[in-house]
């Protein structure tokens, strides 16, 4: 299966006040970084990119921090075109 690896700027968004308040992870597409013909090659590229990003971003605040103001990135793999944002549909409390 063909896969595209892409960088996303990650964040946490407020989901709602239910059960004392809940949050969900979100991301905004930054750029595609590679096209891979096998899932194994894409997974290897994602792991390598995220290890490098962890080292480069070690002094930035965590996404879970109240003081987080953006600037953290993660690599993800997709079959087909990567979405502009994730999650595509905003989650709702059940």
Q: What is the pLDDT along the chain (94 residues), one digit of tens a residue?
A: 799 999 999 999 999 998 888 999 999 999 999 999 999 999 999 999 999 999 999 999 999 888 888 889 999 999 989 999 999 888 888 7
Rounded to 5 degrees, what angle do the CA atoms 29, 61, 22 make? 70
The domain segmentation of the chain, as residue ranges, is 3-86
Q: State if pTM tops 0.75.
A: yes
């Amino acid at each position: 299966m063909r896969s595209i690896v892409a960088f996303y700027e990650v964040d946490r968004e407020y989901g709602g006040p239910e059960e004392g308040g809940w949050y969900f992870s979100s991301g905004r597409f930054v750029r595609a970084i590679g096209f891979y013909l096998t899932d194994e090659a894409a997974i290897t590229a994602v792991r390598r990119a995220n290890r490098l990003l962890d080292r480069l971003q070690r002094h930035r605040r965590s996404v879970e921090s109240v003081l987080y103001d953006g600037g953290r990135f993660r690599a993800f793999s997709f079959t087909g075109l990567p979405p502009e944002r994730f999650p595509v549909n905003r989650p709702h409390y059940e």
